[in-house]
């Protein structure tokens, strides 16, 4: 038995006391603590017991119910993505070619050449964070089966045979433009020809192609990219990467994977604030399927992607993606359902009501409205760029993708995709998000769908998940005639073909008649036989005929139509003379075409729905222009903007005689020059050139005027593509900072023909200014801007925005904008042109920002737009750096106009921007050190593992949760704990992390987001005090302070016995940082349960045992629990039960004790007393 100096003896007795009641028997079992087998049964609480007692060695019940507080081991699927170093493939060495002349003596049969194994190239595992991608990168080791040396087969060369020369496949590729440098290495079995080249097209954010790709990635790869977590947003840099042959054809590798490295010369600016928690490379194939193909992704201090690598066997859209957490622009919910305000349902263009009975075959048009309301804003909820929600219930056959519109139902504000499960992913446009930043926004999500066939209710309820919005559709389950109508237009003949399909639902219909109503601006077209329509019933032979003209319209008699059978009526019409001209000029017109079908079911009249088609609207809403953004090209040492646009895009109307005008926004970088060539291509293949008539910002062309633009018939319909270039004045770029976009508009002078716009991006040669956080107090933060001024000076102003990181704990969570302390502004200008008197400060509360304007011209007024134009820094003939420093107040004004201080320890973000440039710095307000202590279910390090189980409990202390910094002195931990706890030597492990969400699993991966530090030093280990020296904690991640996590384990005294409720073991910690005592503290109470005894039911009443119940009591005790007579005394209450004493027994270990010698049983009024 185990001994303890504090106890005279320590033993456990197993009482196996068997008693049979009228419906019960009792077994009492006692054993010493080394007898484990008897304690293996799971305790089952009896009916009268309120407490479950855990046996020795089992986890206490309360602990089993606790959720683990640490992230568990990485799932196998995730681990599989980690880089695995594999042996390099062993090359086979081929023997040198044998000489032609044979030796004097040769054996009759030459032995095969022995295989020679070449030494393997030492593989280099790719680091998780690659800092530089070489121009010709080494191959990255990839998982593979172990390679073995392959013997070279014996080869006999025949002098008469000459091998046919074949082209060696190209394996090395390089591409470079103004934005990116790409290198690629392909295996020979990819069979890429020597004339092949790798190409890449940048896909700009906000374009339709970009938004569609982002929606696909977010919906298909949400969990892999870490977008399932709270407050996360993915930011993408997208390119279309592909291989081209000399003839311009795209090709794919035949087999094998091509390794690609991309290094970005022009880094795409990040538009979100927060911590990068995941980095990947993603690929979208031509079928719309997304996948993760990451080799590596590198980012700069602002979380912007600088380079990336991937390996792929097919090429299309590929991109780098960073997942950002705690994003400032994403406060509140990412669920669009939080913003949904209403839903309308229409059939045949009419909103349904409770009085309408709709066909079960009907297709419904839904409009779901959403809005960012002031109430939601006060809750800290804002529209985000990427949002999700679920489709309404009971629907099917919805579109896979579509557009979201502003509340005018015309302006596109986003794209959506819907998967088969009805999950909707929304990506709003950049323009819409800019409007959202300025104020409240709203819009509509529109789609069409049908009711599921499995839904057979007469009243179908349609609800929007996540909202209280519900609509009822009353479905017609009676005999019904459901009708659909469609129209198509033939541009060559000018004829409109109408198709009407009617179906008998839920039963047979007789006396069926189709009554069509033709608009007054339309006229019927007859065939050569004078027939006006064809009618097909139940898929039979089409029957021609003529309409019966009545006061109701044009009638056709169908007769009987059986259940689920259809009748199809087809006829043609055309516009009357001059109608298209009326539509084109915006005049009123009558081209609507409706239909109704009537019939009978017995004596009951049946009237169908009344669908209609207005073909004239197709021409009214015709897309006239399409214009893409310009591309920057270099030819003959000069730089051009290359433009193009399409006129009469939909090609629905003749355009001869229309005049197209192209206008450049007034700018100083590019103009039209007299004689510039504009190449025109017509949709019928005709091509010709026109020229710009004069220098300036505009030119025009009248369709059909050029000799190459001939028309044989003025009614012919063509669409036109115009392509041209404008020369860029590069000298102007020498003094341009950041970038500008030159706007280009096209129109044809008709107010009913919407024009189009594009822009040409130009990047200046002046480096962007740099923003730096210098220091902070609880009242102010100090910042620096370094401005790089070219020799000739430049136009320049600063828009400055400062705010506390988003905080939803109060009503002002989002709108915490701060201001510059004007008196704190200082200037250092080596050229002596700018001092504080030459800086004009304006506080713009509408935009919630500060402006700094430069030069004497800006002092004339407070108009911001004119000051932007006039603000400039004068040149001195040499380039120089100007340094501006200033402080911002750590406070903001709430809606009531009262000053409110920022929270201590909060992160403050300061963004300076101007024309085409932006720079951000961040700093923490000094505040109280935030410390948290919690139980750790498990942690491991360097192959060792510590778990909370049995009498061991593990802890995790998170230090500096708000990342305010811990100073430059050693950090000391003082742990005050219960005397029943003692430190487990060697268990203290310390790690750094980029944020509080990262834990020991990430540190073990060594992927750059966390890592282990030197083990703490134990400086004191007493009965109730543990002191650990953590050393100097000054780690930085992306320029910001890190969070630290200390793991360690404590052991509970094995002699500790508790009540059934357990015992609270207290444990509190104080952190000394930066030389300050009690800088931060936290505590955790652990409830430990190791009760003296347990009782369980070991046999249940049944017919086979005469309805007797058996019980077992297991007792663990020491001499401390004996009574004054030296007995262990157990009272067992068995009210209303009769004990069968013949079944009673007591065991100690395996030995059965003797009744009346080793123990006694004494009946009592409430049961029995057991004395051992």
Model confidence pLDDT, tens digit, residues 895-927? 777 888 887 777 888 899 987 788 988 888 877
pLDDT at position 805 is 66
H helices of 557-638, in order, are 579-584, 616-620
pLDDT at position 884 is 96
Q: List, in sequence order, every beta strand (DSSP E) within 68-196.
A: 92-93, 116-117, 172-176, 180-185
Q: Which residues pair with 726 in a beta bridge?
A: 641
Q: Which residue has the higher pLDDT, 486 or 1056?
A: 486
Q: Which residue has the higher pLDDT, 1142 or 108?
A: 1142
Q: For the domain bounded by 480-619, which CATH number is listed?
A: 2.60.40.2110
Which of 90-94, 245-249, 849-853, 871-875 is the least confident region? 90-94
The arrangement of strands across the sheet holding 180-185 comes to 172-176, 180-185, 258-264, 305-312, 294-299
pLDDT at position 26 is 35
pLDDT at position 580 is 79
Nearest alpha carbon to residue 88 among 153, 151, 138: 138
DSSP string, 332-389: S--BGGGGEEEEEEEETTEE--TT--B-TT--EEEEEEEE--HHHHHTT----SEEEE
SS3 1167: strand
What percent of the chain clears pLDDT 90, i.e. is strictly above it? 39
Token pair 């001209």 in the structure block, residue: 581
Q: What is the DSSP letter of 733?
A: H
Nearest alpha carbon to residue 963 among 1003, 905, 1013, 1002: 905
Which secondary-structure segment (H or E) carries 61? helix 61-65
DSSP string, 501-523: EEEEESS-EEEEEEEEE--TTEE
Instruction: Report the alpha-carbon distance of residue 954 to residue 948 in Å, rounded.
Output: 5
Residue 577: count other Cβ atoms within 10 Å of its Cβ: 9
- Band the pLDDT of 491: cuts 50, 70, 90: low
DSSP string, 875-922: --SS-EEEEEEEEEESEEE-TTS-EEEPPTT-EEEEEEE-SS-EEEEE
What percent of the chain clears pLDDT 70, i.e. is strictly above it? 82
Same fold across 333-474 and 480-619? yes
pLDDT at position 1049 is 96
Does 68 have pLDDT greater than 70? Answer: no
Query: Is the full-model pTM beyond 0.75?
Result: no
- Band the pLDDT of 781: cuts 50, 70, 90: very high
What confidence tens digit (pLDDT) does each residue in 981-1017 have? 999 999 999 999 988 888 998 899 887 889 999 999 9
What confidence tens digit (pLDDT) does each residue in 140-191 have? 333 333 333 333 333 333 333 444 456 788 999 999 998 999 999 999 888 9
* Buried b / exposed e along 1092-1130 (16+ C-beta atoms within 10 A): bbbbbbbeebeeeeeebbbbbbbbbbbeeeeeeeeebeb
Topology given in CATH for the domain delimited by 930-1088: Immunoglobulin-like (2.60.40)
Nearest alpha carbon to residue 66 among 903, 984, 1088, 1131: 1088
Does 71 have pLDDT greater than 80? Answer: no
Q: Which residues pair with 1171 in a beta bridge?
A: 1129, 1160
Token pair 């913003």 in the structure block, residue: 339
Phi-psi region of 1075 (alpha: psi -120 to 50; beta: other; left: phi over 0): left
Which of 81-95, 186-200, 1076-1090 is the least confident region? 81-95
Q: List, in sequence order, every beta strand (DSSP E) within 188-316.
A: 197-203, 232-244, 250-251, 258-264, 275-284, 290-292, 294-299, 305-312
Instruction: Report the alpha-carbon distance of residue 737 to residue 411 in Å, rounded.
Output: 33
CA angle, 766 then 767 then 769, to 5°: 115
Residue 1100, CB half-sphere, CA atoms under 13 Å: how many? 5
Residue 1143: count other Cβ atoms within 10 Å of its Cβ: 18
- Band the pLDDT of 857: cuts 50, 70, 90: confident
Q: Which residue has the higher pLDDT, 610 or 116?
A: 610
Contacts of 842 (CB under 8 A, 6+ apart): 850, 851, 853, 862, 864, 867
Radius of gyration of the chain (CA): 41
Contacts of 1043 (CB under 8 A, 6+ apart): 958, 959, 960, 961, 963, 992, 993, 994, 995, 996, 998
- Band the pLDDT of 1079: cuts 50, 70, 90: low
What confidence tens digit (pLDDT) does each residue in 265-310 have? 989 988 777 778 889 999 999 888 899 999 899 988 778 999 999 9
pLDDT at position 1076 is 72
pLDDT at position 860 is 63
Q: Which residue has the higher pLDDT, 846 or 1022?
A: 1022
Instruction: Report the alpha-carbon distance of residue 727 to residue 994 in Å, rounded.
Output: 48
Class of domain 333-474: mainly beta
Q: List, in sequence order, every beta strand (DSSP E) within 24-68.
A: 27-30
DSSP string, 428-457: E-HHHHHHHHHS--EEEEEEEEEE-TT---
Does 223 have pLDDT greater than 90? Answer: no
CA angle, 1101 then 1103 then 1108, to 5°: 30
Does 842 have pLDDT greater than 80? Answer: yes
What confidence tens digit (pLDDT) does each residue in 597-642 have? 999 988 889 998 989 999 888 777 678 899 989 999 999 989 999 9
How, if at all, do strands 770-776 and 872-874 pair?
A: unpaired
Tokens of 597: 């079908």
Residue 411, CB half-sphere, CA atoms under 13 Å: how many? 12
Alpha carbon separation from 869 to 836, 837, 839, 853, 858 (Å, rounded): 20, 19, 15, 10, 9
Instruction: Report the alpha-carbon distance of residue 199 to residue 1112 in Å, rounded.
Output: 79
Which of 4-8, 268-272, 1089-1093, 1144-1148 is the least confident region? 4-8
pLDDT at position 97 is 41
Let me know: does 444 contact 369? Beta carbons within 8 Å: yes
Instruction: Report the alpha-carbon distance of residue 1055 to residue 1053 in Å, rounded.
Output: 5
Phi, psi of 579 (to 5 degrees): -70, -45
Instruction: Report the alpha-carbon distance of residue 359 to residue 483 in Å, rounded.
Output: 9
Let me know: does 682 contact 634? Beta carbons within 8 Å: no
Dihedral over Cα of 933, 807, 825, 896: its sign: negative
Let me know: does 443 contact 413? Beta carbons within 8 Å: yes
Let me know: does 840 contact 852? Beta carbons within 8 Å: yes
Alpha carbon separation from 1013 to 1006, 1017, 1035, 1047, 1048 (Å, rounded): 12, 12, 10, 12, 14
Q: Any idea where the domains of the chain sit in the sequence? A: 172-326, 333-474, 480-619, 622-763, 770-896, 930-1088, 1091-1171
pLDDT at position 344 is 94
Instruction: Report the alpha-carbon distance of residue 1031 to residue 1016 in Å, rounded.
Output: 7
pLDDT at position 74 is 38
Tokens of 145: 């089966």
Tokens of 542: 């089409």
Which of 789-798, 967-976, 1126-1135 is the least confident region? 1126-1135
What confidence tens digit (pLDDT) does each residue in 443-455 have? 999 999 999 888 8
Contacts of 865 (CB under 8 A, 6+ apart): none
- Band the pLDDT of 457: cuts 50, 70, 90: confident
pLDDT at position 70 is 40
SS3 1143: helix
Average pLDDT, the chain: 81
What confidence tens digit (pLDDT) does each residue in 380-413 have? 788 888 999 999 999 998 888 888 998 887 788 9
What integer is the mean pLDDT of 736-754? 85
Q: What is the DSSP letter of 1165?
A: T
Q: What is the DSSP letter of 1125?
A: T
In total, the chain counts a number of residues equal to: 1172
Q: Which residue has the higher pLDDT, 1164 or 41?
A: 1164
What confidence tens digit (pLDDT) does each residue in 266-276 have? 899 887 777 78
What integer is the mean pLDDT of 853-874? 82
Instruction: Report the alpha-carbon distance of residue 913 to residue 701 in Å, rounded.
Output: 40
DSSP string, 219-230: HHSTTTTTTTST
Instruction: Report the alpha-carbon distance of residue 588 to residue 586 in Å, rounded.
Output: 7
Instruction: Report the alpha-carbon distance of residue 417 to residue 1088 in Å, rounded.
Output: 52
SS3 612: strand
Which secondary-structure segment (H or E) carries 1019? strand 1017-1021
- Band the pLDDT of 865: cuts 50, 70, 90: confident
Instruction: Report the alpha-carbon distance of residue 69 to residue 696 in Å, rounded.
Output: 69
Instruction: Report the alpha-carbon distance of residue 757 to residue 747 in Å, rounded.
Output: 9
Phi, psi of 746 (to 5 degrees): -130, 145
What confidence tens digit (pLDDT) does each residue in 817-831 have? 788 999 999 999 999
pLDDT at position 100 is 39
Does 1100 have pLDDT greater than 90? Answer: no
Alpha carbon separation from 341 to 369, 412, 741 (Å, rounded): 6, 19, 37
- Band the pLDDT of 555: cuts 50, 70, 90: very high
Instruction: Report the alpha-carbon distance of residue 336 to residue 995 in Å, rounded.
Output: 28
Nearest alpha carbon to residue 642 among 763, 764, 732, 759: 759
Class of domain 622-763: mainly beta
Instruction: Report the alpha-carbon distance of residue 591 to residue 579 in Å, rounded.
Output: 9
């Amino acid at each position: 038995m185990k001994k303890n100096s504090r106890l005279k003896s320590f033993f456990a007795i197993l009482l196996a006391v068997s008693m049979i009641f009228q419906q019960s028997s009792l077994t009492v079992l006692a054993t010493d603590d080394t007898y484990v087998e008897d304690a293996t049964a799971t305790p089952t609480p009896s009916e009268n017991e309120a407490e479950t007692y855990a046996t020795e060695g089992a986890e206490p019940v309360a602990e089993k119910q606790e959720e683990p507080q640490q992230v568990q081991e990485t799932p196998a699927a995730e681990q599989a993505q980690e880089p695995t170093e594999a042996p390099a493939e062993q090359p086979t060495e081929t023997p040198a070619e044998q000489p032609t002349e044979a030796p004097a003596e040769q054996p009759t049969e030459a032995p095969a050449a022995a295989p020679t194994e070449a030494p393997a190239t030492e593989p280099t595992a790719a680091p998780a964070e690659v800092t530089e991608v070489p121009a010709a990168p080494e191959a990255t080791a990839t998982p593979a089966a172990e390679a073995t040396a392959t013997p070279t087969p014996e080869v006999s060369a025949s002098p008469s045979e000459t091998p046919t020369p074949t082209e060696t496949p190209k394996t090395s590729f390089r591409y470079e433009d103004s934005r990116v440098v790409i290198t690629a290495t392909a295996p020979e079995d990819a069979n890429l020809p020597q004339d092949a080249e790798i190409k890449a097209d940048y896909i700009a954010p906000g374009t339709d192609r970009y938004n569609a790709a982002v929606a696909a990635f977010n919906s298909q790869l949400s969990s892999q990219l870490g977008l399932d977590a709270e407050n996360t947003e993915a930011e993408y840099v997208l390119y279309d990467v592909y291989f081209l042959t000399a003839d311009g054809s795209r090709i794919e590798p035949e087999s094998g994977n091509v390794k690609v490295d991309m290094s970005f010369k022009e880094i795409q600016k990040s538009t979100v604030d927060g911590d990068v928690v995941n980095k990947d490379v993603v690929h979208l194939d031509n079928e719309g399927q997304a996948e993760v193909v990451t080799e590596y992704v590198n980012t700069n201090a602002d979380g912007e992607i600088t380079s990336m690598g991937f390996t792929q066997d097919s090429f299309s859209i590929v991109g780098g993606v960073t997942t950002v957490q705690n994003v400032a622009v994403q406060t509140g919910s990412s669920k669009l359902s939080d913003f949904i305000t209403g839903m309308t349902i229409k059939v045949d263009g009419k909103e349904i009501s409770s009085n309408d009975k709709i066909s079960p075959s009907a297709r419904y048009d839904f409009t779901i409205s959403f809005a960012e309301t002031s109430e939601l804003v006060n809750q800290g909820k804002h529209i985000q760029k990427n949002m999700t929600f679920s489709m309404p219930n009971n629907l099917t056959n919805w579109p896979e993708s579509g557009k979201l519109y502003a509340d005018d139902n015309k302006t596109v504000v986003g794209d959506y995709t819907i998967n088969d499960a009805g999950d909707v992913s929304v990506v709003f446009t950049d323009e819409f998000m800019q409007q959202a930043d300025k104020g409240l926004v709203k819009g509509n999500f529109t789609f069409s769908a049908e009711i599921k066939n499995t839904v057979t209710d007469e009243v179908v309820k349609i609800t929007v998940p996540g909202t209280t919005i519900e609509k009822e559709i009353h479905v017609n389950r009676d005999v019904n005639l459901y009708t659909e109508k469609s129209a198509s237009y033939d541009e060559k003949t000018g004829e409109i073909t109408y198709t009407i399909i009617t179906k008998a639902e839920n039963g047979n219909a007789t006396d069926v008649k189709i009554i069509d109503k033709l608009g007054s601006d339309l006229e019927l077209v007859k065939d050569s036989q004078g027939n006006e329509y064809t009618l097909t019933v139940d898929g039979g032979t089409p029957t021609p005929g003529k309409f019966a003209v009545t006061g109701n319209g044009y009638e056709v008699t169908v007769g009987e139509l059986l259940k689920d059978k259809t009748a199809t009526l087809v006829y043609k019409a055309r516009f009357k003379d001059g109608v298209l001209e009326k539509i084109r000029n915006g005049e009123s017109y009558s081209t609507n075409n409706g239909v109704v079908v009537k019939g009978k079911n017995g004596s009951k009249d049946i009237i169908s729905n009344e669908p209609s088609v207005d073909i004239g609207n197709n021409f009214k809403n015709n897309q006239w222009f399409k214009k893409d953004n310009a591309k920057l090209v270099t030819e003959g040492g000069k730089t051009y903007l290359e433009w193009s646009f399409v006129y009469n895009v939909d090609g629905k109307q003749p355009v001869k005689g229309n005049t197209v005008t192209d206008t450049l926004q007034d700018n100083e970088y590019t103009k039209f020059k007299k004689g510039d060539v504009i190449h025109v291509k017509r949709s019928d293949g005709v091509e010709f050139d026109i020229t710009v008539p004069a220098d300036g910002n505009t030119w025009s062309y009248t369709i059909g005027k050029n000799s190459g633009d001939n028309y044989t018939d003025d009614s012919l319909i063509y669409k036109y593509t115009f392509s041209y270039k404008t020369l860029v004045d590069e000298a102007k770029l020498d003094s341009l900072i950041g970038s500008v976009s030159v706007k280009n508009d096209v129109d044809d002078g008709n107010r009913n023909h919407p024009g189009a716009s594009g822009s040409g991006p130009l990047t200046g040669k002046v480096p962007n200014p740099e923003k730096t956080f210098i220091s902070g107090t609880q009242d102010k933060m100090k910042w620096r801007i370094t401005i790089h001024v070219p020799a000739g000076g430049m136009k320049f102003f600063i828009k400055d925005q400062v705010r506390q990181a988003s905080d939803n704990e109060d009503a002002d969570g989002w709108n915490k904008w701060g201001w510059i302390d004007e008196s704190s502004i200082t200037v250092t200008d080596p050229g002596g042109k700018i001092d504080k008197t030459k800086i004009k400060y304006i506080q713009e509360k509408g935009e919630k920002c500060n402006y700094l304007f430069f030069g004497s011209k800006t002092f004339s007024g407070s108009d911001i737009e004119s000051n932007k134009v006039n603000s400039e820094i004068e040149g001195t003939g040499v380039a120089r750096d100007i340094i501006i420093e200033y402080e911002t107040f750590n406070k903001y004004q709430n809606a009531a106009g009262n000053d409110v201080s920022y929270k201590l320890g909060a992160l403050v973000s300061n963004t300076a921007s101007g024309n085409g440039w932006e720079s951000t710095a961040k700093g923490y307000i000094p505040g109280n050190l935030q410390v948290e202590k919690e139980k750790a279910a498990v942690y491991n390090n360097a192959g060792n593992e510590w778990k909370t189980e049995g009498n061991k409990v593990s802890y995790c202390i998170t230090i500096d949760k708000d990342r305010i910094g811990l100073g430059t002195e050693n950090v000391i931990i003082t742990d005050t704990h219960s005397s029943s706890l003692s430190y487990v030597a060697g268990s203290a492990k310390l790690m750094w992390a980029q944020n509080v969400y990262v834990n020991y699993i990430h540190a073990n991966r060594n992927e750059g987001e966390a890592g282990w530090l030197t083990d703490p030093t134990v400086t004191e280990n007493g009965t109730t005090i543990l002191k650990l020296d953590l050393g100097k904690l000054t780690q930085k991640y992306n320029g910001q302070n890190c969070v630290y996590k200390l793991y360690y384990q404590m052991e509970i005294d094995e002699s500790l016995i508790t009540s059934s409720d357990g015992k609270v073991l207290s444990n509190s910690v104080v952190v000394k940082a930066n030389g300050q005592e009690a800088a931060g503290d936290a505590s955790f109470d652990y409830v430990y349960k190791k009760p003296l005894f347990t009782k369980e039911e070991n046999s249940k009443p049944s017919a086979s045992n005469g309805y007797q119940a058996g019980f077992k009591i297991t007792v663990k005790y020491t001499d401390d629990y004996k009574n004054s007579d030296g007995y262990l005394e157990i009272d067992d209450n068995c009210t209303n039960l009769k004990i069968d004493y013949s079944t009673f027994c007591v065991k100690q270990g395996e030995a059965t004790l003797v009744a009346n010698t080793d123990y006694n049983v004494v009946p009592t009024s409430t049961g029995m007393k057991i004395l051992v």
